[in-house]
Amino acid sequence: MDNFIEWRLIVKKLKGELRESESLQFDQWLNSDYAHAEYFKKVEADWHNPQSPSDDKLDIKALIAEFDAYVKRQKWYHSKRKMAWVPPYLKYAAIVGFLIAAAIIVFGISKFSWENVQFVKSAKVEVSLSELSDLDVACLVLPDGRHMFLDTLSDGLFVVDHALHIKKRGHVISYIPQNNNPNNQKHGLFVPRGQTYQLKLADGSSVWVNSETQITYPAGLADNTRTCHLNGEAFFNVIPSPIPFVVHTERANVAVMGTSFNVCSYSSDHEFVASLIEGKVKVNSGDQQLFLNPHEEAVLSDKDSKLRLRPCAQSAQSWFSETIFFENEPLSSLVNRLSHVYGAEFSFENENLKNLHFTGYFEKSEGLNNLLDVIAMTSDVRFVMKRQGSSVHYLIQKTEQ
């Protein structure tokens, strides 16, 4: 467990109060990763800084709450993996900040500018997102298995290695290559229900990632193929390049040179849809393939596994805008999209209600309940809300005549 240390040992080290056994444990942690040493050096410097804030200026209750959440995430991770958990280094700052007079960063309360640099060690291995579906926070996964819980990290610049930096600002993650040398590292991103994120890749391409989505993508400048693996939904704006850009899903693949398109392929939806906005793309599944022109989309259903062409739905691009569009859309499909946007769950009392069709548009900011009220007023359905812990569930029923 050299990658994890209790906050009390850091504090005792700063005070010179470590026992021999504790000193050994601290040294093992300090020497296990150069990022630990870099972090402690900053903490130690701030500890001896006479301009540091005093304890009575810290919000102790808030720090305790954040520390409890941090421990909860640790326990979740240990229950999922049989390896030592390496917490994001900003978490160390939050924990130490609870007890020491000079915190470098206390969960977003920063003494430095937002460009404060943190160091992240990495290695070239494959990224796995398969164990993240239970999380309720967005998570960035580095090649060596490190997990950066984005919802709890302050905005800042992260040094992955000498060739690659990552900048986080809100829900936008930007990759900044430090040279023009090829770098085939793959990173992974998990976005939970009710959230969206934007990726700005090293080659200048942008990816908007929808909720409940897992995606792996090139972190650096690829030298042969720019490859993504997607389970969920994402909109891609790909910078033209001789290097192909390929999106793999479990049902079909999309290959482009430079274009704007949307891919939706959730495992739970039993359907693949690739929608082209600009440019030209090739979609293939097994021995089937289609070339799309702007405003066309390829559809593949698990029912018959046939790749079909149809006009592009307006909703293909609307999910990351402020407006929800639906045109002659089955209620089953519509509430599925709403669950991604608002984080609610839906079930049908009568299967026939799934086939009701609706057309319209709605501003996301007006809220889910207002939209459901409009649907109920214009149809023979009603939505019965039930709270299950922290989640919200709607039972869809036929209105009694």
Q: Given phi > 0 = left and psi -120 to 50 = alpha, else beta, which region is 193?
A: beta
Pick the more confident residue, 40 or 133.
40
Q: Which of 342, 353, 320, 332 is nearest to 393 (CA)?
A: 342
Q: What is the pTM of this model?
A: 0.65
pLDDT for position 121: 37
Reported as a pLDDT band with limits 50, 70 and 90, residue 349 is very high
pLDDT of 191 strictly over 50: yes
- The share of the chain scoring above pLDDT 70, in percent, equals 71
Q: For the chain, what are the domain ranges? A: 1-110, 322-398
- Distances in Å between the Cα of 145 and the Cα atoms of 43, 100, 201, 251 are 25, 30, 20, 26
Q: Determine the average pLDDT of the residues in 7-31.
A: 80
Which fold, 322-398? Answer: Phage tail protein beta-alpha-beta fold (3.55.50)
CA 103 to CA 387: how far, in whole Å?
39
- In the predicted model, is pLDDT for residue 85 greater than 50? no
Query: 3-class SS at 211?
Result: coil
- For residue 189, what pLDDT band results from cuts at 50, 70 and 90? very high
| Average model confidence (pLDDT) across the chain | 76
pLDDT in tens, 26-82: 887 777 665 666 667 766 776 666 554 444 443 444 444 444 454 444 444 444 443
Q: Could you tell me which residue, 364 or 69, shows the higher pLDDT?
A: 364
